[in-house]
Amino acid sequence: MTSPGASDGLDVLIVGGGPAGSATALALAHAGAAVAVVTRPHPRGPRIGETVPPAIIRPLTQLGVWDNFTADGHLAAPGTVVCWGDECPYEYDYIADPYGPSWHLDRARFDSMLIRSARRAGAQVHALGPSGTRIEHDGTCWRIPLAGRNPDVLSAPFLVDATGRAALIARRHGATRRRIDKLIALARFGAAATTEPRTLIEAFRDGWWYATVLPNAQAVTVLFTDTDLLPIGRKQHQSFWETALSHTKLVRDVMPPQTTTPIFTAPAHTAILSRCHGDTWVAVGDAARTLDPLSGQGLMAACESAVRASDAVLAAHRRTALDAYATQTATQHRTHVSSGSAHYQREHRWPSSTFWQRRTETHH
């Protein structure tokens, strides 16, 4: 479906090679579009987002990679154990879920599977050059410089912003990010000290914890709190993390007490763009909106948005389809925020806590 005015024979350029970008490339390539993914030469460090819900089968089946996913050694999780709103833990199980279990991911393997599948479907994959910040639209096409001794330039009439929370393209074209909270993650990866197959979630005075065992006998434990509730400094972060962990019931024994792997921080706030498309671009995944990690649906939502955005890009009446994509994205976000707010309001054990007081407010 090479478009008139497409340079290099490309229809669509995708900036960002994470799950949303890879899934968009895969969907477009399957439909016959000429597409190129431009990504960073060197990926960043460990990425949080290690659990996906049972319904992940839907977008992965639409993308044609469900069999690849199930063959990749991810761990099926029969449920979630929660200590929230009560001192006594309780369990959500997936026995009656028509989609089966949730999954604990080898995240690097998951990301690699998606980008590899996009390549096999015909998508080009390139490294962004050192001048990658000079992504420009010349009035006809988007132009992106590539890495290399003699940098080349790719161009296409349409661009997908899959740059994650940065939303680089959207923000340069007037979109703003509407945040509803200040949530931040403090995460540690290390060897697992348990074979617990379920996801563990536990509230505490200044936030909540998430922990799970991952493939290859690894584990991740994550503290979520608000940025302004953290003490300043890396050593202070570690002390805050370890002190809070020592008072937990569910998550403190997921990794050995002598674990010394680094604790790193990552933004975890919920947000949505003021607009997620223009005439020649669309934002997908975390670039379009970010979900509260409590929902465990961030990766699934990224894949779903990739499928929907791809359909809009390919539509005969593209502008109308993109408007519909934006409307659905906004509607889903309102539902997500409302549902999350209701869940936070179930926790009443720390009425004087700033973190929990903020969650009793109604978000708009």
**Which residues, 6 or more positions from 283, have their beta carbon under 8 angstroms from its beta carbon?**
160, 161, 162, 167, 169, 170, 175, 273, 276, 277
More confident residue, 280 or 139: 280
Q: What mean pLDDT do residues 180-201 have?
A: 97
Neighbour tally for 311: CB within 10 Å: 16
Neighbour tally for 342: CB within 10 Å: 9
Of the listed ranges 35-39, 204-208, 241-245, 358-362, the one predicted with least confidence:
358-362
The answer to whether residue 294 scores a pLDDT higher than 60 is: yes
Which is nearest to 64 in space by CA: 15, 118, 107? 118
Provide the Cα torsion 292, 293, 299, 303; round to 10°: -10
- pLDDT of res. 216: 93
Distance of alpha carbon 208 from alpha carbon 364, whole angstroms:
23
Distance of alpha carbon 238 from alpha carbon 247, whole angstroms:
15
**67 by DSSP, 3-state: which?**
helix
Burial 67-101 (b: 16+ CB within 10 A, else e): ebbeebebbebbbbbbbbeeeeeeeeebeeeeeeb
- Look up residue 254 and give its two tokens: 């997921």
**Which residues, 6 or more positions from 287, have their beta carbon under 8 angstroms from its beta carbon?**
16, 20, 161, 162, 163, 164, 165, 166, 167, 168, 169, 170, 273, 276
Instruction: For 91-124, write each residue's pLDDT tens digit.
Output: 999 988 999 999 999 999 999 999 999 999 999 9
The answer to whether residue 340 scores a pLDDT higher than 70 is: yes
Q: What mean pLDDT do residues 146-154 have?
A: 73
Instruction: For 205-254, write each residue's pLDDT tens digit.
Output: 999 999 999 999 999 999 999 999 999 988 899 999 999 999 999 999 99
- pLDDT of res. 133: 63
Instruction: For 40-51, write each residue's pLDDT tens digit.
Output: 766 666 777 689
Distance of alpha carbon 311 from alpha carbon 175, whole angstroms:
22
- pLDDT of res. 127: 87
Instruction: Decide if domain 7-49+106-178+272-342 falls under CATH 3.50.50.60.
Output: yes
How do the domains of the chain map onto residue ranges?
A: 7-49+106-178+272-342
What share of the chain has pLDDT > 70, as a percent? Answer: 93
